[in-house]
A and B are shown apart, each in its own frame.
Chain A
Amino acid sequence: MSAAPAIELKGISKAFGPVQANKDISIRVMPGTIHGIIGENGAGKSTLMSILYGFYKADAGEIFINGQKTEIPDSQAAIASGIGMVFQHFKLVENFTVLENIILGAEDGALLRPSLAKARDELKSLAEEYGLNVDPDAVIEDIGVGMQQRVEILKALYRQADILILDEPTGVLTPAEADQLFRILERLKTEGKTIVLITHKLREIMDITDTVSVMRRGEMTATVKTADTSPPELAELMVGRKVLLRVEKVPAKPGEKVLEVRNLNVTDDKGVHRLKNVSFDVRAGEILGIAGVAGNGQSELLEVLGGYEEATGTIRVNGQEIDLSGAHSDGQSRRARGIAHVPEDRQREGLIMDFFAWENTAFGYHHDPAYQQSRLLMDNNAIREETAAKMERFDVRPPNPQLMAKSFSGGNQQKIVLAREIERNPDLLLVGQPTRGVDIGAIEFIHQQIVALRDQGKAILLVSVELDEIVSLSDRIAVMFDGQIMGERLPEETNAQELGLLMAGITDTDRPHSVAEIEENLANAGVGRAEVGD
């Protein structure tokens, strides 16, 4: 018999009120392996890991670490048992150096100097052992996201973690950085560390894990050897039915130019140049995808087009120029011009979480005469009826207009926004991160809706940080980096590597590039300091 499992969970259950987040979950993670946990949003992955890291107390069940029954009442206990966690949202002090961040909470005494000296030596040996090179004196806010993540890993290793849990680690990385991370994880594995990788991306699971556990609705539906499974099988296990992973679409038939953007410039309140001479066209009947790492000006581009960010330059919609001067909140006139907008962040912009679904259906279109009962009063009944019909057509569950937006799952919230915007029959649809935080089943549906709108001859501008999504949906791809468009490519003539280099600001894509060069480029541009959604 081989060694005891590094982690063994037996019969873990956890309920939040009426919601059973984890139901009788048992799992064995063998030492020296990379174990993937995959599941849709809300499947209970994060809850399970939070129990393992001492944030929540399980209602029932037992935890064994290296064969020892262990109680983990808080994160201190988790660290003491050799568990380290790298969160999706880094827990670093932005204006501290790498070294200061690493010792934070693990100082040896009242004086910092001895701890810092010890950490410096320790860091050097960790760097040699695992190939984790970081400048110990760099300030966190000056280094790129990939580097920051490495600091998080080092923090865990410095605290003698043998088991590393990574929660959606690639969400904020370029493809090149993600590859680099995977190389580090491989190295950690060969050095005997155990790694638990939580993700919703099938490709990552297939690329790097040895074993994969699938969660669905709080239950562990399967644990299989990665080599013995396939993406379609995993997707089916996650969703509970067969899923189309590729978007089915016919070639585009581009028509007239619907959107013309010329020399668009945006400078934010702090004087930072967010958009630099951005120019592009979107034609009727095509999807232009904007790829790029979050925070490279895509959000500002959508805000300008949506009418709530000031800019200079020229925007024409159907040949008519749009007034950009002082447009602090001009969303109404944009809508009147046939521009619909599914914003990047549905919880901050697209929906009012404390409004009922029906109130959200009128949101932005609340001046529509169809929604008015008289000059003063809104026709709430008409809006409710329309919402019920839209919920039916977009398969929103539960189809109840009287529920608040916050009580729907991410995918259903997104469907409420999409139904509102698409059914306006716009000439131009702006879509930001259409499937962020949306489960696989809903992704399929949302992609179909976007393609269907294109096939009706509408122009679509798609912004997404998911490269797979950009490649599979777009008819043309423009890559943004540091507020500029680095180039346009056709999806059938490019590959992830070329796009990845463009996303890192490197235009001479024929030459080979080192990861260090890419990271330096990203760090110089200050990329990744912008907010990152989940």
Chain B
Amino acid sequence: MQKMPAWADVVLIPLISVLLASIISAIVILAIGENPWAALKLMVSGAVGSSYGWGYTLYYATNFIFTGLAVAVAFHARLFNIGGEGQAMLGGLGVALICLYIPWPHWTLALLFATASSALFGALWAAIPAYLQATRGSHIVITTIMFNFIASGLLNYLLGNQLKPSGQMEPATASFPEPAHLPTLNDIAGLFGSDLFRSTPVNVTLLIGLVACVLVWFLIWRTRLGYEIRAYGHSESAARYAGISPNRIIMITLLISGGLAGMMAINNVMGEAERLVLNAVEGAGFIGIAVALMGRNHPVGVLMAAILFGFLYQGGAELALWTSIPRELIIVIQALVIMFTGALDNLVRWPLERVFAATRSTRGAE
């Protein structure tokens, strides 16, 4: 028996959660003596009020699409991949190596190989925790989170020593050569004589992200592998009965998950920075967890949640720029949204379920 209709689960709960988070954020903003209404107006106009704002919002959203999908895919096997951050860092390494050391004739080829390389690096970084989980039962949450630190240390070392051009102070690679630069959506709009997304970093990776959403949907709901992943996720004992190997599912699922997280790097490293810098991921790996939670692990939900978080990122940056609301408070607002949509899901769900149960029983009694 369904406790409430699907639309309430998918639309109403996230909506109420966001509303609650906004109310508390408004109270916090009031408390420091700012005007929450003005702040909201600024966020909205800054993030979605212009094609410039949209450009940034969508750029951030692209990052979150990949990390959100990564968490969502793993979650279908009830594997909690907290390692998106580290996997995306390694993906960046994969992109950098491909772009720096191979002379590409055209960006399309570079993109193709950089995508493959980023996915491969991300997947390999997930492979070690996956193997430990499958064969030794080492908990994936612990190992992946530890691997984030190892990834950070590894990149610190490589960027500080091997990959840094001699004579440069900053721990970063050299800029990628021109043919490895991805066209931004503004460049593409320019072909049609439009100035959409003026000088914003949103680039062709967004389209790859959308394709990834579709592919993940096919993987999870239409392929045999997705069927096995979901079966294993719902019931390991039943999966064993059906002849589905748990070890195989754990390995494959986390490789896909790690690959998706790694692919984020084509957006931020290849598409935006055009070189690999330290801390390029900027927490997007963790935001992916919230995005997947809010998006109910469905690609469409992930896409919507990614855009919402893109809005929060861009809107937050605008707040920091134009008001005296400190940057830390913007993180507080983002954290509130994560908390309400993710961690405090049941806070909204239980009362809502009761409301639906009550309305149904009165209807039943008539």
Contact = CB atoms under 8 A, between A and B. Distances in A.
Interface string B225-257: 001101100110111111111100000000000
B238 A18 contact: no
Given A355-B230, A367-B224, A378-B222, A17 B357 contact: yes
A16 to B, nearest CB: 9
A359 interface: yes
B238 A377 contact: no
A378 B218 CA distance: 10
A372 B224 contact: yes
Contacts of B351: none
Contacts, number: 85
A307 B239 CA distance: 12
A11 B93 CA distance: 72
Contact of B223 (A306, A335, A354, A378): A378
A254 B292 CA distance: 57
A349 interface: yes
Interface in A377-412: 377-378, 380, 407
Interface string A351-368: 111110001001110110
A331 interface: yes
A307 B223 contact: no
A331 B242 contact: yes
Contacts of A343: 241
Given A349-B238, A378-B224, A18 B364 contact: yes
Nearest to B242: A364
Interface string B208-230: 00000000001000111001101
Bin the interface of chain A by size.
35 or more
A241 interface: no
Query: Which of B230, B237, B357 has the largest count of A CB atoms less than 10 A from its CB?
Result: B237
B231 A329 contact: no
B324 interface: no
Contacts of A306: 241
B235 A331 contact: no
B223 A377 contact: yes
A15 B364 CA distance: 11
A352 B239 CA distance: 9
Contacts of B239: 329
A156 to B, nearest CB: 34
A332 to B, nearest CB: 4
A360 B244 CA distance: 14
B125 to A, nearest CB: 26
Query: Per DSSP, are chain B's interface residues mostly helix, strand or loop, or mixed?
Result: helix
B360 interface: yes
B241 A331 contact: yes
B361 interface: yes
B227 to A, nearest CB: 6
Nearest to B363: A18
Contacts of A330: 243
Contact of B218 (A359, A372, A377): A377
Given A329-B246, A363-B242, A380 B222 contact: yes
A364 B218 contact: no
Contact of B360 (A18, A331, A349, A366): A18
Given A348-B235, A349-B238, A329 B218 contact: no
B1 to A, nearest CB: 6
A82 to B, nearest CB: 34
A378 B244 CA distance: 16
Given A359-B227, A377-B223, A331 B361 contact: no
Contacts of B228: 366
Bin the interface of chain B by size.
20 to 34
A187 interface: no
A328 B246 CA distance: 9
A146 B4 CA distance: 43
A366 B364 CA distance: 39
A395 B235 CA distance: 26
Contacts of B245: 328-329
B227 A378 contact: yes
Interface string A193-234: 000000000000000000000000000000000000000000
Given A331-B243, A352-B231, A355-B231, A376 B223 contact: yes
A349 B222 contact: no
A335 B243 contact: yes
Contacts of B246: 329
Nearest to A359: B227
B234 to A, nearest CB: 5
A308 interface: yes
Contacts of B357: 17
Contacts of B244: 329, 331
Contact of A364 (B2, B237, B241): B241
A377 B218 CA distance: 8
Nearest to B221: A380
A103 to B, nearest CB: 36
Given A378-B223, A378-B224, A341 B241 contact: yes
Interface in A261-306: 306
Contact of A334 (B230, B238, B243, B364): B243
A334 B240 CA distance: 12
A350 B238 contact: yes
A1 interface: no
B223 A352 contact: no
Contact of B238 (A15, A328, A352, A378): A352
Interface string B4-15: 000000000000
Given A17-B357, A19-B1, A377-B222, A329 B238 contact: no
B366 to A, nearest CB: 12
Contact of B1 (A348, A349, A363, A407): A407
Contacts of A335: 243
A363 B364 contact: no
Contact of A352 (B2, B218, B234): B234
A363 B231 contact: yes
Contacts of A332: 243
Contacts of B230: 352, 355
Nearest to B358: A17
Interface string A312-340: 00000000000000001111111100000
Contacts of A407: 1-2
A265 to B, nearest CB: 20
Contacts of B237: 345, 348-349
7 contacts: A329-B239, A329-B246, A331-B240, A331-B243, A352-B238, A355-B230, A380-B222
> Which 8 A-B residue pairs are closest in the complex by CB-CB distance?
A331-B243, A332-B243, A364-B242, A349-B241, A308-B240, A329-B245, A352-B234, A18-B364
Interface of B: 1-2, 218, 222-224, 227-228, 230-231, 234-235, 237-246, 357, 360-361, 364
